[in-house]
Amino acid sequence: MERHALSVTAENHPGVLVKVCGQFSTRSANIQYLAAAPTDQRGLSHMTIVVRADQAIDVQDLVEHMEKVQHVTAVEVIEDVEGVIAELEPISERAPRTVGSLTQRAY
């Protein structure tokens, strides 16, 4: 399995995350890690995405298609995939595993 990491900056509008994630599903790539948060620049959000694909995917083709998604302002390939995973994995391990555990924390 191949892993790829991408950095995506987009305007903070409803549905942008869904559109970005849809680019992976059409290429049979599974999102393994995803972190999204607003940036210091008002109205922009940043996403760090690690995908795993059974077959080789053309990352440059994926970047070009994501740049065409409405409200996406920048897309970059992150070469240090293992470094990104090392940063995101501890967060993933602490995350609730079910919706029930998430709602219990909220109340």
User: Which pLDDT score is estimated for 102?
Assistant: 47
User: Which pLDDT score is estimated for 29?
Assistant: 84
Average pLDDT estimate for 14-42: 90
CATH fold, domain 2-106, is Alpha-Beta Plaits (3.30.70)
For the chain, the domains span: 2-106
Strands 72-78 and 29-38: unpaired
H or E segment and range at residue 24 = helix 16-25
Average pLDDT estimate for 21-36: 87
User: Which pLDDT score is estimated for 40?
Assistant: 95
User: Which pLDDT score is estimated for 5?
Assistant: 93
User: Which pLDDT score is estimated for 70?
Assistant: 93
3-state class (DSSP) for residue 98: coil
The tokens of 70 are what? 């409405």
Residues 53-74: tens digit of each pLDDT: 777 778 888 888 899 999 999 9
